[in-house]
Structure formats: C-alpha cells, structure tokens
Amino acid sequence: MKKSIRKWVLDNARKYDGKASMGAVVGKLLAENAEIKAKLKELTPDIKKIIDEVNNLTVEQQIKELEKLAPELLVEKKIVEEKKLKPLPGAEKGKVVMRLAPSPSGVQHIGHAIVFSLSHLYCKEYDGKLILRFEDTKAEDIYAPAYKMTEDVLNWLCENRIHQIAIQSDRLETYYDYGEQLISKGKAYVCTCSADLFRDFMMKKKACPCRDLPVKENLLRWDKMFVEYEPGAAVVRIKTDINDPNPAMRDWPALRINHSVHPRTGEKYKVWPLMNLAVAVDDHEMGVTHTIRGKDHVDNAKRQQHIYDFFGWKAPIHSYIGKIKFEGIEVSKRKLKAAIERGHYDDWDDIRLPTVAALRRRGFQPGAFHKFAQDMGIGLNDKLVPAVDFFKSLEAHNRDIIDPIANRYFFVWDPVKAAVKNAPEQEVHVPLHPDDANRGHRVFKTNSNFYISKEELALLKAKKLYRLKDCLNFRKEGKELVFESAEYDKFHKEGEATFTWLPADAKLCDVEVLMPDKKFVKGLGESVLADLPVSTIVQFERFGFCRLDKKDGKKVTFWFAHK
Ligand SMILES: [Zn+2]
C-alpha cells in the first residue's frame, strides 16, 4: 500500500513543481482502488508523511525514484514536456514587450541560453517585441569585447528577432533625471554615512541622520556627488520602509559615485545608477510588459516596485526560473574569464567551453536550446542537471533538427590503403541524403583500391561478409579482402557491418575534425567537401555530425557536434 501511495505522491509532485497535494494523491488512490475509501482515515497520517518526504526532494530526484517505482507513469511525462509553453501570465497577443538583459562581463553560457530562449519563445508566441539591453553600469566588471560577442550570439539564439538594442551606459542622463526627481519628491536622499554606520542604523530600524534632511539640502548634496565627493563618500538611497523585515530592503542604494574608467564612456561619468534604479527606469521607459529572470531577482523586483510606486508606473509582470545547476560543468563567467586569461582556453568559443558561442561553432542550432529551455520552463524550483543529461538532451534535440538537413559525406579517419581483390571498375552513386533522393548524389569512379579507416579495418573478422557502403560486398580471406558481389540484398541477408570508404585513386581532400576534447581526428574526405561553404553542417557516415569551420587550401577543418 505504501508503495502505491509513494508512486502517486511522486507522480503528483513532479507534475506540480515538486510539490504534491493531499487531494490529488487521494483522488489517484481511490481511482486505482475504490475499496480503500473505508481505510482512508487510518491511511491519512502515512500519506501526509510520504508527501512531506517527497516534497523535500528535487524534481530530478522525484523523477529518478518514479522511474524505478513506476516507469509507466513517465511515458506520459514526455507528452507533457513536449507540450507548448505554459501561458505567460497576463500576456496579450501583439502587446508583449520583453527584454534580454545581459551584463557584458563575459559571454553567454548554457545557463543564460535557457533564460534568453524562454524570453524569445514567449515573444515569438505572442507576436511581441524583444529588446536586448546591455546592463553595463558597473565599469569594473565590463569586458569590452562582450558587447559585440553577446549581440552576435543572442541575435543567433533569438533567430534575428531582436527589435531594439539599448545600452545603459548611453542612458546616464536619463537616470540622473529620475534620480533628481526622486530626491525632489522626498522619495530619495543622499546619504553620506559610512557603510558600517548606515548598516548599524538599519539593523536598529532607525533612520540615519541624512534621511530627514530637507529636500533642498539633499539636492545640494546631489550636485556635490558630481563634483566634490569622493567615491564611497555619498550614495543616493531610496526611502523604503525601515521596518521592512528584510534589512537588505531598507533604504537601498540607487546611485553611487564611481570613478572607474568605463570601456565605453571613459571618464565622462562619475555617478552611476545601481542595477535596481536603472532596471526600473528602463523597463518603464521601454514599455516592458513581462520579464523572465532567475529567481535571485525576486528581491530586486520588490526594490524596483518602490520606484514604480513612487512614480505611479505599472510594473511588468515578472516570471522566474529556479536556479539551474549544471553538475560537472563550470559556468561561472568570472571563473571562465580567469581561465581564459590564464591561457587554459583559447577564447570564449574554445570547443571545450559550455558557452553558446562554442556550441554554435560545433553545429548546435538555436532550436535545440529552445527545446531544452521549454522542457525546463518557468517556475521557481531549482533544477540540478548533470552534464551528461544536459548534453544527451541537447544533442537529441539538435539531432532532430539537423538530421533532415545535413547531407551525408564520406570521411575516412586515420586512413589506410586497402585493396579489394577482384573488385570491378564501377561508377558508384551515393545519395546526399538517404531520405531525399531529390538532393542528388555523389559519383565515385572506383577500382580495387580504397581507403578505409584503420580503426574499422581492425574490426574485420575472417570469412564474414562486409560492405563498402553503396559500393560492394567483400570478405576477409586470410590477409586479403576479396570482392564478393555488389548487390545489397546479399549483404542484407548475411552482412556483418558497413564501412565508409574513399577511392584511393581519386582526388581527395585533407580533413581534420576538432573534437570536444580539443584533439584533432585527421583523415581524408571527398573532394567536394572543399567546395562547401563555411558553416555547412554535414553528417560523416559512421562518424557523426560536424560543422565546417574553416577552409585552408586543400585542408578542410570541421568541428564535431555529436553522433
Ligand atoms: Zn546617512
């Protein structure tokens, strides 16, 4: 009985953000076995206990346990996951405005790709407008090349549907204007207390001496922030409720003095808004109706609400996603930046990095990220995603997208010459795509001399029947490979394995494939590979999907995507 209860609790929990409810579980139990109705009262404590236990697990743990206990219930999960996006609260078609708000402190990694994909998907779904806004008011954190790289990657990720680009460091005068208005209305003040002193006041829920100074005096101090005060000597604070249960909410700072040289504006500006003021002003001015951000922004949204209330503005509707922890993948921008600077990686798109730029260069498509983001969805619960699962899922989504579009080619890695005794001279036609004859085919003139991969050759067993794909059948007799026939039917009946090959006497090109561990696999490919445009995605038969990255004379370099 307990097993049955646990099964339904797990099932209910994983469907509703990790939290099962008594009513739903009882409903399922009764539907399964009506006779337990009589025993329900005595079962209730057990059910309650199990609900408590299960609700304390992460959704991943719940699903894992359910997989063991009742895998049949998860069959339907796939359908649920593949369903459309959850509706965006309060959204109307044609009236949604959302923003992507990256900080140009590094480049976008898989975690950002999830949040940004969701915003993009909702904008697309509701015919909305998508704004890319660089939040760059903290000069010391900025990595100058990140503006260009981020714009490029996000345009790609959002299928060129970004309607407007804004940069906060272009908007300083606007923030000053609102800052001054807040001071003039008595909603903000210039605090010259030291950080420690101010904290003491707030912990005691007492106003600091600056809070109640006349507006005139505060405006004077405001002017001094631009010309006289040193960094740290004064800060504009928003008047909130100093009895707020959360001390971090009490009179939070909105503008500060910062003399750091900004990569875009140099030394022109000395006073900078902090994130919450800049975000509230921008969201209002840009008409943002909905936001999706990590749940670490829940408190920030409360702070921004103060500004909305002071000005009588309507706040956007905020949705959050829980923290996604990629187990076994380092995604901290700061750590990645340090590792690149130390020379551990070539650049932000080093093939070993979990950045969108690197995965894009390997041949991953925006749609694969979108599908993954859709599976994650909006919702507050945290998710632990092991690296293996993440890549398995991203690769499966990507395969669905590129398998129908990628043409097939022969690449023989680590090639060795192999003669197939008695092989006739043939003209062999190999289709570019097995499911689409209209795309045409490649033509090879063959004789008895081939290139085969050393690795594949080593697999051959004596007397067994093998096939060179679309070309001929052969057996290994002693040390020789001997032609048997060219018909596929014979191979189909008793064949062991099919190999890729290249005619040894034809014009070929040198191919190297950069693998995710940054090692090259080298070999030979069909000469037509050298004619493909850079960025073409191909499937090398028996090897995997790859993206053409570079052409250099006779040599063609690919990046490996996945099997
Ligand atoms: Zn003060």
| Strand partners of residue 446 | 426
User: What is the 221 CA–ligand 1 centroid distance (Å)?
Assistant: 12
User: What is the 209 CA–ligand 1 centroid distance (Å)?
Assistant: 5
Three-state DSSP class for residue 115: helix
| Strand partners of residue 273 | 255
- Whether 5 contacts 29, CB under 8 Å: yes
3-state helix vs strand vs coil in the chain, percent to 5 = 40, 25, 35
Residue linked to tokens 């197939």: 420
At 40 the pLDDT is: 84
User: What is the 197 CA–ligand 1 centroid distance (Å)?
Assistant: 8
User: What is the 237 CA–ligand 1 centroid distance (Å)?
Assistant: 9
At 82 the pLDDT is: 54
Q: Dihedral sign, CA of 96, 101, 107, 113?
A: negative
DSSP assignment, residue 296?
G
User: What is the 337 CA–ligand 1 centroid distance (Å)?
Assistant: 37
User: What is the 211 CA–ligand 1 centroid distance (Å)?
Assistant: 6
Helices (H) and strands (E) in the chain, counts: 18, 27
User: What is the 493 CA–ligand 1 centroid distance (Å)?
Assistant: 87
CA–CA separation, 286 and 551 (whole Å): 44
Q: Is 333 exposed, middle or buried (0-12, 13-18, 19+ CB in 10 A)?
A: buried
Which residues of the chain have a pLDDT value below 50?
77-81
User: What is the 272 CA–ligand 1 centroid distance (Å)?
Assistant: 18
